[in-house]
């Protein structure tokens, strides 16, 4: 059972647009149906930077960000049965309660059980477990992995193989699972198909990996940063192109290259203009375009309805469509058996104190994923 308050190190975002500050925080013990986790490794994702920038309408400050992490259960609150002290776990920003109508429907992974409180930066009972300098600190995405210890709801944790290296599998908490699932679950890429992947960051590379595993015969990577091409090809891209190399819109270039368009396209940036291009690059009659990137609040997508009337499909995905508690342990097993890549996504490893450096690496485009170790 849970012990007392733990004092530990965390990166606090005191206000929007400012660097994170390494502080000593107090982490309260888990209440009923909560789990306190010792985070061993965490990575930095664009979603953390998006909220830190102040552009996220759900962003609350001060807050402990972070949602790609892995660790060990330190203690559990009353009524917790799925995990126990000492278990190896990955915190989940999309939970799986198994009881709500979303969990009961095989068509979605969007559990809504704690959605409202999670969006407000608090635990399901409406309070926070973090304090720093006498102030309440908000939680983020139900995970807050930028802290040596964190508290999450018991439905927001996946128990994984204890032999898994946590400084690698922490990436299965977001980016890799999202991209891989976009290809194999959402698009359901078929053998012999042609795919286009817009944006060659961590998520885009995971989409390429998924398309390759699904048997796609042609995978076209699209990015304005040509430094990303070598890595994309290593993951399975058959060719890479830049929209800046042609006077024609990129969708026209792709339609010409592929005799009418691609079978599947994926937008892994969060740019509504690129989302349109990705749809319009799809083949008439059967092309499917999946939106993976998260656009800024209030932005809208547009195309001519004729694009859909003539047989293209526009879809979106969150966390790759994986029902999290059930599938994250399986994804860890797939990594352990070398079916999916994880190590290759890690370009930098830094001590936790250098977290601001990790954000700089991401913004500069020099990193795919930087893993921070406590």
Q: CB–CB of 9/138 below 8 Å?
A: no
H-only helix segments in the chain: 46-52, 101-104, 115-119, 166-169, 175-181, 202-213, 229-235, 250-257, 272-280, 306-309, 324-336, 355-364
21-27: strand order across its sheet: 6-12, 21-27, 130-132, 135-137
Contact present, 27 and 129 (Cβ < 8 Å): yes
Question: How many other C-beta atoms are found inside a 10 Å radius of the C-beta of residue 62?
Answer: 18
Report the distance separating Cα 156 and Cα 97, nearest Å. Answer: 8
Residue positions annotated with a catalytic role: 45-47, 67-68, 97, 100, 103, 111, 115, 174, 369
Q: Which residues pair with 102 in a beta bridge?
A: none
Contacts with 102 (C-beta within 8 Å, 6 or more apart), sequence order: 108, 109, 110, 111, 112
């Amino acid at each position: 059972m849970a012990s007392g308050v733990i004092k530990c190190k965390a990166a606090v975002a005191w206000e929007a647009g400012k660097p994170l500050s390494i502080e000593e925080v107090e982490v309260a013990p888990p209440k009923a149906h909560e789990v306190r986790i010792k985070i061993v490794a965490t990575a930095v994702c664009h979603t953390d930077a998006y909220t830190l920038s102040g552009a996220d309408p759900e962003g609350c400050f001060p807050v402990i960000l972070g949602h790609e992490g892995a660790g060990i259960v330190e203690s559990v609150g009353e009524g917790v049965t799925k995990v126990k002290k000492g278990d190896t776990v990955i915190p989940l920003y999309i939970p799986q309660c198994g009881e709500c109508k979303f969990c009961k429907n095989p068509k979605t992974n969007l559990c809504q059980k704690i959605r409202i409180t999670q969006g407000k930066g608090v635990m399901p009972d409406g309070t926070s477990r973090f304090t720093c300098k006498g102030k309440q600190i908000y939680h983020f995405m139900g995970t807050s992995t930028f802290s040596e210890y964190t508290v999450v709801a018991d439905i927001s944790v996946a128990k994984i193989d204890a032999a898994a290296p946590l400084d690698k599998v922490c990436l299965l908490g977001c980016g890799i699972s999202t991209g891989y699932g976009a290809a194999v679950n959402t698009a359901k890429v078929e053998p012999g198909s042609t795919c286009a992947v817009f944006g060659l960051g961590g998520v885009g590379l995971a989409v390429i990996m998924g398309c390759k595993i699904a048997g796609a015969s042609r995978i076209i990577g699209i990015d304005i940063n040509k430094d990303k091409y070598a890595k994309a090809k290593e993951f399975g891209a058959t060719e890479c192109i830049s929209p800046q190399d042609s006077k024609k819109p990129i969708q026209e270039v792709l339609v010409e290259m592929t005799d009418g368009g691609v079978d599947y396209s994926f937008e892994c940036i969060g740019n509504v203009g690129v989302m349109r291009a990705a749809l319009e690059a799809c083949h008439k009659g059967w092309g499917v375009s999946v939106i993976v990137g998260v656009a800024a609040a209030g932005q809208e997508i547009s195309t001519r309805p004729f694009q859909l009337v003539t047989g293209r499909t526009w879809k979106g995905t969150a966390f790759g469509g994986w029902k999290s508690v059930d599938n994250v342990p399986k994804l860890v097993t797939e990594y352990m058996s070398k079916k999916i890549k994880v190590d290759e996504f890690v370009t930098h490893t830094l001590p936790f104190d250098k977290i601001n450096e990790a954000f700089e690496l991401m913004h500069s485009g020099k990193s795919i994923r930087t893993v921070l170790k406590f």
